[in-house]
């Protein structure tokens, strides 16, 4: 499933559509503590988290995750939003909790 396919499900609000929407999402990763994410983050995963700031974006880049999905109604702060826009990162969001959001993406990957 590509990032574009995930967007097309309409399940998530698009905070920022990045510059590589053809990128393949291969897995799902859930965690909010950044130093754990940094060591356990999964390459090409959609990262479901409640942390919406520039640090999330830095960890996403460093671990080569595909996109960020903010759950539980979390929002990207202003500085993070600017960075996502200028660097072309995909950020989606939802009011739903982490588990159903992650499960939905996982189901889509394996559909």
Ligand X SMILES: Nc1ncnc2c1ncn2[C@@H]1O[C@H](COP(=O)(O)OP(=O)(O)OP(=O)(O)O)[C@@H](O)[C@H]1O
Query: Is residue 39 involved in binding ligand X (CB under 6 A)?
Result: no
- Helices within 13-97 (DSSP H only): 34-40, 54-63, 78-87
Query: Is residue 79 involved in binding other proteins (CB under 8 A)?
Result: yes
Report how many residues bind other proteins under the rule CB under 8 A.
22
What value does the CA radius of gyration of the chain take, rounded to a whole number of Å? 12
Report how many residues bind ligand X under the rule CB under 6 A.
2
Q: How far apart are CA 62 and CA 98, in angstroms?
A: 22
CA distances from 24 to 36, 42, 80 (A): 24, 13, 23
Query: Is residue 35 involved in binding ligand X (CB under 6 A)?
Result: yes
The residue with tokens 């097309």 is: 8
x/- map, 39-78, other proteins, by CB under 8 A = x---------x-x-xxxxxxx-xxx---------------
x/- map, 1-40, other proteins, by CB under 8 A = -------------------------------xxxxxxxx-
> Which residues of this protein are in contact with ligand X, per CB under 6 A?
34-35
């Amino acid at each position: 499933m590509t990032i574009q396919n995930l967007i097309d499900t309409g399940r998530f609000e698009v905070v920022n559509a990045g510059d590589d929407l053809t990128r393949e999402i291969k897995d799902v990763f859930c965690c909010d503590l950044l130093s754990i994410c940094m060591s356990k983050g999964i390459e090409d995963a959609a990262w479901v988290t409640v942390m919406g700031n520039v640090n999330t974006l830095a960890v996403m880049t460093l671990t080569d995750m595909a996109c960020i999905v903010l759950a539980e109604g979390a929002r990207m702060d202003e500085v993070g939003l600017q960075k996502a826009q200028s660097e072309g990162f995909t950020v989606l969001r939802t009011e739903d909790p982490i588990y159903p959001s992650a499960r939905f993406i996982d189901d889509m990957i394996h559909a």
